[in-house]
Structure 1
Amino acid sequence: MITLYHSPQSRSDMIVDLVRLLGAEIEIREVTIVRQDGSGAPDPDNPHPEKKVPYLVDGNDYVRERGAIVLYLTDAYPEAKLGPTVGENGRGAYLSWLSWYQGVMEPLLILKWAGVSHPAIESGLRDEATMLERLVKPLRAGPWLLGERFSAADMLCASPFQWFKDLQPAEPLIREWVERCAVRIKAGQPSE
């Protein structure tokens, strides 16, 4: 059985929502983690090499980092239609969104939250305005990042704005998309 190591009120909440939408039978084990305010502690029962969450164990295999876990689970449960499968139209865009989130969006938001700026950040990751425009562009054409198809990429990319309302930009297209994602997740609707 697949096991997800999770700590409530953390980035792994989004993965728990994904598990629910997939209809996946996955064991969820709660562990403690070090919190941003310094509370909490590493859990000796957490197999993640850095004692973070989420962490997925499937037999002798393991997956860490949300983008990778999202891909692993949506590939394992294709019937939920939360991610295009290999050979399906939109697969490249889907993979790009998952990787872009992990490699660009999340780091930029963390750096903004921490009050860090540097020319090297802008040359490598760009800036917040560029990041937001990257989200807005597909939302002008459709309600979701993949056009008419809601996917786990929407869940992943909208998740920081759902957690940190103060990071949510004034851009109406993004605010409306974040709200649509929240409604969809709460309703438990994997695909239309």
Structure 2
Amino acid sequence: MIVVHHLNNSRSQRVLWLLEELGVPYEVKRYERNPATMLAPPELLAVHPLGKSPVITDGDKTIAETGAIVDYLVETYGQGRLIPPAGTPERLRYTYWLHYAEGSAMTPLLLKLVFTALPARAPGLLKGLVKAIAAKAQAGFVDPQLKSHIDYWQAELSKAPWFAGEAFTAADIVMSFPLEAGAARAGAGSRPKVKAFLEQIHARPAYRRALERGGPYDYAA
């Protein structure tokens, strides 16, 4: 039985969603973030040396990293579903978006999160200085980077309803987190095609079932 070591409000929500789309039985082991630091609890270190989520166990196998988990689940349980045929242009796009989501897309989103949270965590006498530095970093680098990525999403989704083409694939599941986070942190939801994508995924029955299994998830709002 697959066990998803699920951290609240994290990228592991996509793993639950993928399993629901595939109709594969699984168990959820829940972990809660530290409310002060928002970091994963130390209990996750017993599952994987980095103590991060997502991570799954399947029998004697432990698989971490979203892309690796998605590859494993689609290859092992997909039976050709949620992945375009090999050798097609759609398959190349699928592979690209699968890696882009956790590579290029997440860097500015994480920086946005860090610089937004940093002033509140600074010592009292340094709050003003830290706030000014964070604002300058966001305005000068982070926000322009995010705009470039959001423009890119809008343009690509103007070509087809899904990232790999006309059919929904696991690449869309992986891309959901950057777009949901981008809507929450950087106004991406104001772009028509991004908004339409988010509305489509949020309406999928498997997505709704994954929310029921995973618990509260802020980005689904």
State whether TM-score is above 0.5: yes
Query: Is residue 172 of structure 1 aligned with residue 221 of structure 2?
Result: no
TM-score scaled by length of structure 2: 0.69
How far apart are the structure 2 equivalents of 1:78 and 1:138? 26
Contact 1:19 1:26 in 2 (8 A): yes
- What is residue 31 of structure 1 aligned with on the other side? 31
Alpha-carbon distance between aligned partners in 1 of 2:48 and 2:169, rounded to the nearest angstrom: 26
Deviation for aligned residue 1:141: 1.5
| Residue deviations 1:72-110 (CA, integer Å, cap 9, x gap) | 212222237222354455222111101111111112111
Deviates more, 1:142-151 or 1:128-137: 128-137
The correspondence for 1:147, drawn from 144, 152, 165, is 165
Q: Deviation of residue 63 (structure 1)?
A: 1.8
CA deviation after TM superposition for structure 1 residue 59, in Å: 3.7
Letter in 2 for 1:101: A
Q: Distance in 1 between matches of 2:21 and 2:37?
A: 31
Mapped partners of 2:146, 2:2: distance in 1: 36
Aligned residue among 170, 176, 200 for 1:158: 176
Instruction: Say if 1:17 and 1:168 are closer, same or farther in 2 by CA, change over 3 A.
Output: farther
Unaligned runs of 5+ in 1: none
Q: Secondary structure at the match of 2:42?
A: coil
Structure number with greater CO (CA < 8 Å, separation at least 6) is 2
Point out the structure with max Rg over C-alpha.
2
Q: 1:182: which partner in 2?
A: 202
Residues 19 and 144 of structure 1: CA distance in aligned 2, closer, same or farther (over 3 Å): same
Opposite residue 181 of structure 1, the aligned amino acid is I
For residue 133 of structure 1, the aligned residue among 139, 145, 151 is 151
> In 2, Cα distance between the equivalents of 1:153 and 1:27?
23
Greater helix share, 1 or 2? 2
Q: CA RMSD in A?
A: 2.9
Residues matched between the structures, number: 183
Matched-pair contact (CA < 8 Å) for 1:12–1:54: yes
CA distance in structure 2 between the partners assigned to 1:21 and 1:3 by the alignment: 16
CA 1:68 to 1:151, structure 2 compared with 1: closer, same or farther past 3 Å? Answer: same
Identity %: 27
- Structure-2 residue corresponding to 1:97: 97
- How far, CA to CA, are the matches of 1:58 and 1:131 in structure 2? 35
C-alpha separation in 1, matches of 2:106 and 2:36: 15
- Going from structure 1 to structure 2, the CA distance change for 1:89 and 1:46 (only over 3 Å counts) comes to farther
SS in 2 for 1:104: coil
Equivalent position amino acid for 1:8 in 2: N
Take 1:90 and 1:137, find their aligned partners in 2: how far apart are those partners? 17
- Quote how far apart the aligned CAs of 1:32 are: 4.2
* The 10-residue stretch of structure 1 (144-153 or 164-173) with the greater mean CA deviation from structure 2: 164-173
